[in-house]
Chains A and B, each alone.
Chain A
Amino acid sequence: MRKLILASHGSLAEGMASAVRMILGDAAELSCFSLDHYVSPQEIGEAVRGLVEAEPETRFLLLSDIKGGSVHNQLFPLCKRPNVQLVSGMNLSLTLELALLGEDGPAEESIREAMQIGCGNMDYFDKNILGRELNGLGEDKEESLW
């Protein structure tokens, strides 16, 4: 059994969960903790600690919005528990990949692959880049399925 917990400043965690559910439906089991709904980062830390202590057999994958941020720093000490893994820098691509990981507590390796995909989704576009992409279409016309 695995659970994904999103934690953030503002309402990012709820918004992220809403976006994930739009794409994956209710397949993903998500809980959210954000500073718009909790008085302090400490409160979020306590709430998440309560969850991971109550279910020592469940693997918890925690996803924070920004490394070194106050919410992240509250979750950080929970990493000493064997059933907790923590990833920072949530974005939609990363969150989707993490939500799609297998049920049986993913290995560090598969989490890092998801992080790679999340990073890869970050990109830059302007008219020069677009022009290059459009020109490039001609070259790989023969792209195929095998």
Chain B
Amino acid sequence: MVKLLRVDERLLHGQVAVSWFSTVGASSILIANDAVMNDEMAKVAVKLAKPAGAKLAIRDIVGAADLVNDPRAKGVSIFIVVRTIEDALRLVELTGDEIKHVNIGGIKKTEDSRMISNSIYLNDADLERLKKLDSLVEELEFRLVAADTKKTLRDL
């Protein structure tokens, strides 16, 4: 079962590996990103950031959806990390109701985005995607680190 899907532009890094993995209480980490599949250096970096004792799989979005939809996934607690809101929405749409909780962490600034909080910058397209995402999952919340207070789409 999927414990949490997190959106973080930095994918698996120290903060995600240590604090989120231990808070979420998952046994497996799934990195879902199309570009990382062709970036050997990034793959090695992701593997090095893996917390002790965790299982780790790196897939493109479609491959990640296949894993989540696999009946064997029911027996494992999975923490998924994607890089963008667009990827999060794609993955949620490809996996029926397997993903129930979505956390938005760091979203970097782009030319057409505006600051929503210290670590989150959104453009209009992402805002629309978030509204859709919010309607598809049980909980959509915004937190950079696990100890922060959860914010919802309406709080922003």
Which A residues contact B (CB, under 8 angstroms)? Answer: 22-27, 92, 96-97, 100, 116-117, 120, 123, 130, 133-134, 137, 143-146
Report Cα–Cα, A25/B52, bound state, in Å.
Answer: 21
Report Cα–Cα, A24/B47, bound state, in Å.
Answer: 21
- Whether B67 lies near A145 (C-beta < 8 A) is yes
A residues less than 8 Å from B47 (CB atoms)? 133
**Cβ-defined partner of A145 (8 Å) among B15, B52, B73, B145:** B73
Interface 0/1 of B112-140, CB less than 8 Å to A? 00000000000000000000000000000
A residues less than 8 Å from B72 (CB atoms)? 145-146
7 further A-B pairs in the complex, CB-CB below 8 A; given A24-B146, A27-B19, A100-B22 = A25-B145, A26-B147, A123-B48, A137-B44, A145-B28, A145-B73, A146-B75
Name the interface residues of B17-42: CB closer than 8 Å to any CB of A.
18-19, 22, 28, 30, 40-41
B residues less than 8 Å from A137 (CB atoms)? 40, 43-44
- In the complex, how many residues of chain B place their beta carbon closer than 8 angstroms to a beta carbon of chain A? 29
- Whether A23 lies near B15 (C-beta < 8 A) is yes
A-B contact count (CB 8 A): 64
- Whether A146 lies near B76 (C-beta < 8 A) is yes
In the complex formed, the residue of B with least CB distance to A135 is B40
- Whether B76 lies near A145 (C-beta < 8 A) is yes
- Whether A134 lies near B76 (C-beta < 8 A) is no
Name the interface residues of B69-127: CB closer than 8 Å to any CB of A.
72-73, 75-76, 78
- Whether A25 lies near B148 (C-beta < 8 A) is yes
CB distance from B87 to the nearest CB of A (A): 18
B residues less than 8 Å from A97 (CB atoms)? 18
- Please provide the 6 A-B residue pairs with the shortest distance between their CB atoms, ordered closest to farther: A25-B147, A27-B147, A25-B145, A145-B28, A133-B44, A23-B15
Contact residues of A: prevailing secondary structure: helix
- Whether B14 lies near A23 (C-beta < 8 A) is yes
Report Cα–Cα, A92/B13, bound state, in Å.
Answer: 14
Q: Is the C-beta of B153 less than 8 angstroms from some C-beta in chain A? A: no
Report Cα–Cα, A23/B44, bound state, in Å.
Answer: 22
Report Cα–Cα, A145/B59, bound state, in Å.
Answer: 11
- Whether B67 lies near A144 (C-beta < 8 A) is yes
B residues less than 8 Å from A117 (CB atoms)? 52
A residues less than 8 Å from B41 (CB atoms)? 134
Report Cα–Cα, A22/B16, bound state, in Å.
Answer: 12
**Cβ-defined partner of B18 (8 Å) among A100, A134, A144, A145:** A100
Q: Is the C-beta of B62 less than 8 angstroms from some C-beta in chain A? A: no
Report Cα–Cα, A123/B47, bound state, in Å.
Answer: 14
B residues less than 8 Å from A22 (CB atoms)? 15
Report Cα–Cα, A26/B43, bound state, in Å.
Answer: 31
- Whether A134 lies near B15 (C-beta < 8 A) is no
